[in-house]
Structure 1
Amino acid sequence: MEMATVRQDGGGSGVACGENLTCPETFHPRGCPSVAGPYIVRPRVPEPPQPPAHSCPARRQHGAEPTRVKVGDLDKDVVLSCKEPPETWQLNGDPDPMVELVPAGTELTVVGLDLPATGNYTCWAHGRLLDTTFLAMRSTPGRLIHRLSDEQVKAVSCHAESYCGTFKCEWRALEHAFFRARIFRSGESPGAWQCTGLEQRGLVNMDFVEPGFCPFAEEMQPLVLELQALTRHHLFEDFRLRLFLRDIVRPEPPQNVTAWREGQQLHLAWAPPASWSHPHSYFTLRYRLQYKHHDGSMGNLQLETVQEIQLAGAVRQVRLSCQDPFANSRWSAWTPWKDV
């Protein structure tokens, strides 16, 4: 939502936008059904320390994603660490792997990383497990996640149905892989990881919620999306994407389209999509109407904020779509053709 353009609130709700605007601490917009709990606002109160980077639940069955991941490059040395000085190190349960390893104190250097040297490293003392690290090797960009070009932004597509702070991102996995992702505002602490839990290939998507998002305030800093992929063959790929919610908003189609005739006049009425932000007098929508005549000709109208209209002539079918007029948002999909 480009807040340099002031929305006119014709409903008398008293909402005004400015740099110092904050949402009430318990604000919960009715147009945001998927956001639960109190609506926390920015500036945020200090939060407890974030979970470590391996915050996705650890799973011990075969094929589950590892907990802590260390990533190295092909033919480069990688240094692993243990919480305490260990007596022995193991790679995938093997105390004597065919890999060049150099232990020193609490550290272990893996010399000249290749695929046989990747996997689950554990350090032990007196028969007790001290620490675990999963070592993966970085893949070439685009091997795991499909990219349309060298630009990382082309690898993922995100969209939001409203200004509720919720959105969905999707990408195409070229190999079976585990995926995890997290979002945070630029300059703030990263949030917790979200994991797919199971290996996926093909189209992969995740839903995200920014609990501190205020729909009435201008976005000053972009959201950062971090995405990581890890295959069972221990290949790793990652990238970052920066975005503003206002740039990815695409409303759902209008709902409750009704039509009735009075003499030669066709009356049409409709409502904003159920997922659209409230109040509608503040979050207005622009509509476009497409209609077909009985002789096969078609007409188009663009309508600002109104939710009903009268048409003259022999109209037989209509459909509608909508967009946010205050941002450079995409038009929604069309409603199905409605016989009138």
Structure 2
Amino acid sequence: MKAVLILGLISLMGAKGLEDFPQSYVVAKRNSTDAVTLPCGTTTKNDVTWTFEGQDVEFNGRISTDGPNLLVKYVDKPMLGKYTCLSEGETASTFLLMEVEEEEELDSFFSCRARSYYCTFNCIWHHKKYRAVRLGLGPNCHDGGNECQWFKGTTKSQDERFHFDLTHSLKPFAEERSRLELTVEAIKDYTFLQRTKKFYLRDIIQPDSPQIVSCQKGSSDINVNIRPPSSWPMPHSFFSLEHEIQYERKDDGELHCHQDSSSTITIPLKITKLRVRSRDSLVRSAWSEWTGWTDSTCSTKLTH
């Protein structure tokens, strides 16, 4: 297996391992017969000595040298951690991490959403056991290229998930010919998870909730006027939305739904409450969240 050497963020050490991405690290598969190389990053390479977590490295069938560098194979958990080389008073450290063996599908704990076709979208990492997560956008990120731009997530105390705000260079009016490529990396202690997700921007579109502008009562029906959310791109004739209105009838208390691409939707007069949601009518995107319930005049918001 090829060693993956990536320059990243400054390393932070916790009591049980890494809390953030170290500046230099190598990822190995567990018990692989293929040796990985831990490079000595000092400017001089004379009389190099190596330590592991502050103790002299014991050379054996698993650990050997190749010039100033260290070769490691048959990697297992006790071998993971911080390796430091020393040459003429200068030191440099590299962390040996182990690839996560779990085969969980990325979509089971990671999701992305774009509110519109403009240049931003957001992603959420739901897997709580990882202490550090980052995203790289573009094909250069999977192999740890220096040209990759990494996005670091922020956590919110109420849910402990990692939230990411990303930017892309796609043009809203252009035909989408290529997929976005996201590289997701996560660290827990000294284990390393990497997954790649490819998708078209249209696949993650989910508009914000629309606005109910007014309800005009007639003799037998109500015309509900709906406006796209302020975050939705213009002109609306090009970026059209389909609306779904849900309402509760007075006579039987049952919920009914009606879908229409018009900005005005007609529903029966005798209702107790209504709400609306929208989606991109061309690509049939995910539906927005529902608006809050409102009464038949659209002037009073209801709590249920």
Measured in 1, the distance between the counterparts of 2:63 and 2:125 equals 37
Q: Percent identity?
A: 27
Task: Name 1:181's counterpart in structure 2.
Answer: 135
**Which stretch of the first structure deviates more once superposed, 120-129 or 242-251?**
120-129
**Which stretch of the first structure deviates more once superposed, 280-289 or 267-276?**
267-276
Task: Name 1:279's counterpart in structure 2.
Answer: 235
State whether residues 130 and 186 of structure 2, in contact with CA within 8 Å, keep that contact through their aligned partners in structure 1. Answer: no
State whether residues 119 and 134 of structure 1, in contact with CA within 8 Å, keep that contact through their aligned partners in structure 2. Answer: yes
Cα separation, partners in 2 of 1:185 and 1:231, compared to 1, 3 Å: closer
* Structure 1 position 93 matched with structure 2 position 50: no
Task: Name 2:178's counterpart in structure 1.
Answer: 221
* Structure 1 position 191 matched with structure 2 position 148: yes
Measured in 1, the distance between the counterparts of 2:244 and 2:213 equals 13
Measured in 1, the distance between the counterparts of 2:194 and 2:27 equals 10
TM-superposed deviation, 1:249: 0.7
Measured in 1, the distance between the counterparts of 2:152 and 2:254 equals 51
TM-superposed deviation, 1:93: 2.4
Cα separation, partners in 2 of 1:67 and 1:186, compared to 1, 3 Å: closer
Task: Name 2:40's counterpart in structure 1.
Answer: 82
State whether residues 211 and 228 of structure 2, in contact with CA within 8 Å, keep that contact through their aligned partners in structure 1. Answer: yes
TM-superposed deviation, 1:79: 1.7
Aligned pairs for 1:111-190 (under 5 A) are 111-129=73-91, 131-142=92-103, 147=104, 151-173=105-127, 175-184=129-138
Measured in 2, the distance between the counterparts of 1:162 and 1:221 equals 17
* Structure 1 position 102 matched with structure 2 position 64: yes
TM-superposed deviation, 1:85: 1.6
TM-superposed deviation, 1:314: 1.5
What's the secondary structure of 1:212's corresponding residue?
coil
Over the aligned positions, Cα root-mean-square deviation in angstroms equals 3.0
Match of 1:55 among 8, 17, 25: 8
CA offset digits 1:218-240 (Å, max 9, x no partner): 221111111112112x1112111
Measured in 1, the distance between the counterparts of 2:100 and 2:8 equals 23
* Structure 1 position 293 matched with structure 2 position 246: no
Measured in 2, the distance between the counterparts of 1:91 and 1:209 equals 37
Measured in 2, the distance between the counterparts of 1:309 and 1:195 equals 43
- After the TM superposition, list the runs of 4 or more consecutive aligned residues in structure 1 that deviate by more than 4 angstroms: 96-100, 151-155, 185-190, 262-265
Measured in 2, the distance between the counterparts of 1:278 and 1:103 equals 62
TM-superposed deviation, 1:207: 2.3
CA offset digits 1:235-256 (Å, max 9, x no partner): 1121111111101111121124
Measured in 2, the distance between the counterparts of 1:335 and 1:183 equals 32
TM-superposed deviation, 1:312: 4.6
Where does structure 2 lack aligned partners over 5 or more consecutive residues?
297-304
Measured in 2, the distance between the counterparts of 1:94 and 1:275 equals 57
Match of 1:327 among 267, 283, 295: 283
State whether residues 170 and 203 of structure 1, in contact with CA within 8 Å, keep that contact through their aligned partners in structure 2. Answer: no
State whether residues 158 and 170 of structure 1, in contact with CA within 8 Å, keep that contact through their aligned partners in structure 2. Answer: yes
> Which residue identity is paired with 1:88?
T
Where does structure 1 lack aligned partners over 5 or more consecutive residues?
1-51
What's the secondary structure of 2:123's corresponding residue?
strand
State whether residues 118 and 134 of structure 1, in contact with CA within 8 Å, keep that contact through their aligned partners in structure 2. Answer: yes
Cα separation, partners in 2 of 1:154 and 1:253, compared to 1, 3 Å: same
Task: Name 2:300's counterpart in structure 1.
Answer: none
Cα separation, partners in 2 of 1:175 and 1:97, compared to 1, 3 Å: farther
State whether residues 206 and 279 of structure 2, in contact with CA within 8 Å, keep that contact through their aligned partners in structure 1. Answer: yes
Cα separation, partners in 2 of 1:187 and 1:299, compared to 1, 3 Å: same
Measured in 2, the distance between the counterparts of 1:53 and 1:206 equals 23
Measured in 2, the distance between the counterparts of 1:227 and 1:156 equals 9
Match of 2:19 among 59, 64, 68: 64
Task: Name 1:302's counterpart in structure 2.
Answer: 259
Match of 1:261 among 201, 217, 221: 217
Measured in 1, the distance between the counterparts of 2:268 and 2:130 equals 57
> Which residue identity is paired with 2:36?
V
TM-superposed deviation, 1:267: 3.6
Tell me how many residue pairs correspond in the alignment.
276
CA offset digits 1:47-75 (Å, max 9, x no partner): xxxxx94233x144645322222101222
> Which residue identity is paired with 1:80?
L
What's the secondary structure of 2:56's corresponding residue?
coil
What's the secondary structure of 1:247's corresponding residue?
helix
Measured in 1, the distance between the counterparts of 2:40 and 2:276 equals 61
* Structure 1 position 207 matched with structure 2 position 164: yes
TM-superposed deviation, 1:152: 4.4
Q: TM-score, structure 2 length as denominator?
A: 0.79
Q: TM-score, structure 1 length as denominator?
A: 0.71
